[in-house]
Amino acid sequence: MPMTDWGARGTTGVSFAATLDFDAVTVSLGNRVVLDQFSLSLRPGEIVCLLGESGSGKSTALRVAAGIQPVHGGAVRINGETVSAPGATTPPDRRGIGLMFQDFALFPHLTVLRNVLFGLRGLNRAGALAQARAALKRVGLADRETDYPHMLSGGQQQRLALARSVAPRPGVLLLDEPFSSLDARMRESVREETLAVLRETNVTSLMVTHDPEEAMLLGDRVALLRQGRIAQIGTPAEVYRRPIDLNAARFFSPLSEVETRVSGAQAMTPLGPVATPGLADGTSVTVAIRPAGGVRIALRGSGTPGRIIGKRNAIGIDICEVSVDGLDAPLGLRQPSDAELSVGQDVFVTLDPEHVLVFARD
């Protein structure tokens, strides 16, 4: 695909990929502290995904960055310039940011082209037209200029929203659950296109999502929010491999959990021992087994005896439930399809320590 000429950055007031800093931001709503000394710094061009339970403060963080929600403590800076502080909030249109928010939906009464032109009012007519058309071409909507948003599919509407928000070349783009309204198949393609456009435009991006897989796929870093603070932040590989606690681990993938104790630097489970470096004998631990890779099953060979009690096939992947003597709940297991495996079969189960996590319990 030919590179799109996105035009000069700065139509919205910022002349290069921006930094975005939250510095000990506190927001109280009603009598709740919704953001509690929240700190986060994004490097120019970086994509950070915010994940967290419902009510953890993700949308509030985004609204603060957008200038829609004032702060009660701390500061927000874009390129080092303070845009939010208690009693001083630079309005959204003077921050050099782009928004892909549900509340900033497409204008239904404007054509596709006019929706994009709306953000380009700072340019002369010819310049704005050229930039809007380049953006529409990039997202595959060049031939829909005169249509209205309701004439587009959900995926096309999302592409239009993307074109509209990046055409003015903002330094920072804020995205709130941008793919949540799309069905699974559409979501995948729109997500990939969005990622490509974010990379091409090198826009610093902060995205809220409910979907851990989406955060892992899109984020250079993933931040897990808990009660208005960042509980953990790191690259997708870091947060997946070394979640800070059991709750964080549960957030990133479903788990089979076994409660046991440490003995001789090992946690004994019905599936065999798991190394527990650094934990004293007698410590109560939860051994958390990931469904993808945590256990293997085989019809022959060695391992702990178990039985397949459930099996579903999902496009080349078997999702199995395996009961094992000594385990309260069946193990969840995902692996490449194997026609030899069926419900009721006896199998041998082995652990792969690479995909098993151990957490001390209080």
Ligand X SMILES: Nc1ncnc2c1ncn2[C@@H]1O[C@H](COP(=O)(O)OP(=O)(O)OP(=O)(O)O)[C@@H](O)[C@H]1O
Residues in touch with ligand X (CB under 6 A): 29-30, 32, 34, 52, 54-60
Alpha helix ranges (H) inside 118-183:
125-138, 154-166
Cβ–Cβ under 8 Å, residues 69 and 60: yes
- Dist CA 235 CA 223 (whole Å): 9
CB of 39 vs ligand X, minimal distance in Å: 16
Nearer to ligand X, 58 or 164 (CB): 58
CB of 52 vs ligand X, minimal distance in Å: 5
Supply 230's token pair: 């960042």
Nearer to ligand X, 54 or 124 (CB): 54
Cβ–Cβ under 8 Å, residues 320 and 302: no
CB of 22 vs ligand X, minimal distance in Å: 13
CB of 51 vs ligand X, minimal distance in Å: 9
Nearer to ligand X, 76 or 322 (CB): 76
* Contact residues for 243 (Cβ-Cβ < 8 A; gap 6+): 232, 249, 251, 252, 357
- Dist CA 356 CA 284 (whole Å): 16
Nearer to ligand X, 99 or 287 (CB): 99
Nearer to ligand X, 216 or 308 (CB): 216
- Dist CA 228 CA 56 (whole Å): 5
Cβ–Cβ under 8 Å, residues 240 and 70: no
CB of 272 vs ligand X, minimal distance in Å: 39
CB of 260 vs ligand X, minimal distance in Å: 34
CB of 55 vs ligand X, minimal distance in Å: 4
- For 254-299, the DSSP string reads --EEEEEEEETTEEEETTEEEE-TTPPTT-EEEEEE-TBTSEEEES
Supply 76's token pair: 């927000």
With CA atoms as reference, report the closest residue to 286 among 315, 250, 257, 307.
257
Nearer to ligand X, 61 or 333 (CB): 61
Nearer to ligand X, 52 or 155 (CB): 52
Nearer to ligand X, 58 or 144 (CB): 58
Nearer to ligand X, 177 or 318 (CB): 177
Query: Cα-flanking dihedrals φ and ψ of residue 288, to 5°?
Result: -110, 120
Cβ–Cβ under 8 Å, residues 320 and 338: no
CB of 50 vs ligand X, minimal distance in Å: 8
CA 47, 53, 56, 58 dihedral sign is: positive
CB of 197 vs ligand X, minimal distance in Å: 24
With CA atoms as reference, report the closest residue to 317 among 301, 296, 333, 330.
333
Nearer to ligand X, 7 or 57 (CB): 57
Torsion, CA 92, CA 96, CA 101, CA 104, rounded to 10:
60
Cβ–Cβ under 8 Å, residues 266 and 274: yes
CB of 216 vs ligand X, minimal distance in Å: 17
